[in-house]
A and B are shown apart, each in its own frame.
Chain A
Amino acid sequence: MERSAISRQLSADDVWAALAHVPDPEIPVVSVTDMGMVRDVAVDGGRVTVTFTPTFSGCPALHVIRESIGEAVRALGVPDVEVRSTLTPPWTTDWIQPDARERLRQYGIAPPAPAGDTPLITLDPEPTRCPRCGSLNVRMTASFGPTLCKRLYVCESCKEPFEGFKSV
């Protein structure tokens, strides 16, 4: 970071741009901003406050995310960084950016179906499309996957197993 860049007044956009490079620790093809986890950035002179929201409350990567956000902002030359969390409004997969959904799909993870109008108390799983061949003829093989946010499926059309993002 050049000194001239530091002396220039840092804007919230600069911070957002830096956070766009902070990867999700469990799905490195998407960033914390792609996932809609960063809710607010406030710049007050040499002090930056970033508010983020956890995806799943039991997610073991939360402290890693918190530290990565702090490091990314400090790398801009900001001495005083506060990373706070909020639960309101609760995170939803509907906040995942469209281009990030496409990256998830290319990575082999079926992006989440729209969560907006899904009843909160329901026994029916959301429809899921195979990320490789696009078929809806898929079968869930495990309703919990290697991370809290995913499930396991196999495609009955192309026979490939794949992970799918839960709609939250």
Chain B
Amino acid sequence: MTGSGQPSAVSRQQEMLTPELQAVLIRKLTALADDEIILAHRDGEWTGHAPILEEDIALANIAQDELGHATLYLDLRRALDGSDSDRLAFFRDAGEFTNVRLVELPKGDWAFTMLRQFLFDAYEALWLDAARGSTYAPLAEVAAKAVREERFHLQHTALWVERLALGTEESRRRTQNALNELWPHVAQLFDPVLGEAELVAAGIVPDLGEVRVRWEGFVVPHLTGKCGLLLPMTLAEVAEGRDVHTEHLAPLLAEMQGVARQHANAEVW
């Protein structure tokens, strides 16, 4: 995961950050990247197994985009602390990953996969849309770039959710089950990292409460109005933070990191 931004512009911006803000920004960028990396891995698990060839390709495309976004975030982090993106992705254990639990749940059936991706895509698209106004120029640039790509994910997964919800009795049952299972995990997407309020106050990242209002205004009418699904309950609040994971993350990392850890000094992949 290497790239090259424009270090001079980044370092000028860095000087505007206090050490405290910088530490919180690093935490936030890592959380954003971790969500993308883990979700991309779950999407990638369908490669060779998706219901039809076109969907195999679509999910591989989406996973590739999400990894591209993770790279953008980790490049921003590297500019702040010199960290190595590949080491962060492949040499941290479950306890060090800060992804939300929503993205680490096993891939489930097709309805579960499409619905999870839809819920996440809408959150990501709206967060990025708001982050285009960041006072931290390198983040505003990344957001302006990534939001243009996220639109295609949203179009794809929104249509799939609709198709499945209004399809057959069986597809509707599976989609409703997926919603029942996923809905309680959604609130964590809008749970700030430690110290995030300082970043919001400085205009560096969007206020998650505002993003959540827009998200609900977008997602709920689609699920209930257009797709005729029933919302299980109001969004549950988050009991635990991003350092607490389900039992599903460790096996995922064992698979994802296997090759990198076995050949830690490999230079050509």
B125-142 interface bits toward A, Cβ cutoff 8 Å, 1 = contact, 0 = none: 110010000000000011
B68–A87 touching, CB < 8 Å: no
- Where chain A touches its partner, the secondary structure class is loop
A120–B125 touching, CB < 8 Å: yes
B144–A56 touching, CB < 8 Å: no
Of residues 80 to 118 in A, which have CB atoms within 8 Å of B's CB atoms?
Answer: 84-92
Which of A88, A125, A146, A168 touches B148 (beta carbons < 8 Å)?
Answer: A168
A88–B141 touching, CB < 8 Å: yes
A56–B65 touching, CB < 8 Å: yes
- Which residues in B have their C-beta under 8 angstroms from that of A146? 57
Of residues 10 to 48 in B, which have CB atoms within 8 Å of A's CB atoms?
Answer: none
Q: Does A137 contact B (CB under 8 A)?
A: no
Q: Does B182 contact A (CB under 8 A)?
A: no
For chain B, give the interface size range. Answer: 35 or more
- Which residues in B have their C-beta under 8 angstroms from that of A168? 148-149
Q: Does B204 contact A (CB under 8 A)?
A: no
Q: Does A23 contact B (CB under 8 A)?
A: no
CB A94 to nearest CB in B, in angstroms, measures 12
- Which residues in B have their C-beta under 8 angstroms from that of A92? 148
CB B125 to nearest CB in A, in angstroms, measures 5
Total A residues in contact with B, Cβ cutoff 8 Å: 32
A120-152 interface bits toward B, Cβ cutoff 8 Å, 1 = contact, 0 = none: 111111000000000000000111111010001
Q: Does A57 contact B (CB under 8 A)?
A: yes
A142–B141 touching, CB < 8 Å: no
B58–A58 touching, CB < 8 Å: no
Q: Does B154 contact A (CB under 8 A)?
A: yes
Q: Does A60 contact B (CB under 8 A)?
A: yes
Which of B54, B147, B151 touches A142 (beta carbons < 8 Å)?
Answer: B54
Of residues 52 to 79 in B, which have CB atoms within 8 Å of A's CB atoms?
Answer: 54, 57-58, 60-62, 64-69, 71-72
Which of A85, A90, A120, A125 touches B4 (beta carbons < 8 Å)?
Answer: A85
A58–B67 touching, CB < 8 Å: yes
Max chain B Cβ within 10 angstroms of own Cβ: one of A60, A91, A120, A142: A120
B156–A143 touching, CB < 8 Å: yes
B148–A90 touching, CB < 8 Å: yes
Which of A60, A141, A144 touches B152 (beta carbons < 8 Å)?
Answer: A144
A120–B147 touching, CB < 8 Å: yes
- Which residues in B have their C-beta under 8 angstroms from that of A57? 65, 68-69, 71-72, 145-146, 149
Bound Cα distance from A120 to B144, whole angstroms: 10
- Which residues in B have their C-beta under 8 angstroms from that of A91? 145
CB A22 to nearest CB in B, in angstroms, measures 18
Q: Does B6 contact A (CB under 8 A)?
A: yes
Bound Cα distance from A154 to B4, whole angstroms: 39
Q: Does B159 contact A (CB under 8 A)?
A: yes
B57–A120 touching, CB < 8 Å: no
The verdict on A86 contacting B68 (CB below 8 Å), with A125-B155, A143-B152, A148-B61 known, is no
Which residues of B line the A interface, CB within 8 A?
3-6, 54, 57-58, 60-62, 64-69, 71-72, 125-126, 129, 141-142, 144-149, 151-152, 154-156, 158-159, 218
22 A-B pairs in the complex with CB atoms less than 8 angstroms apart: A57-B145, A57-B146, A58-B64, A58-B65, A58-B67, A58-B69, A59-B68, A84-B6, A85-B5, A86-B6, A90-B148, A120-B125, A121-B126, A121-B151, A142-B57, A143-B156, A143-B159, A144-B58, A144-B61, A144-B62, A148-B64, A166-B152
Known: A58-B68, A90-B141, A144-B58. 13 other contacts (CB 8 A): A57-B68, A57-B71, A58-B69, A58-B71, A60-B64, A85-B5, A86-B5, A87-B142, A87-B144, A87-B145, A143-B152, A144-B60, A144-B61
Which residues of A line the B interface, CB within 8 A?
54, 56-60, 62, 84-92, 120-125, 141-146, 148, 152, 166, 168
Q: Which 10 A-B pairs have the closest CB atoms?
A: A58-B68, A57-B68, A142-B54, A144-B61, A144-B58, A58-B64, A87-B141, A90-B145, A143-B156, A58-B65
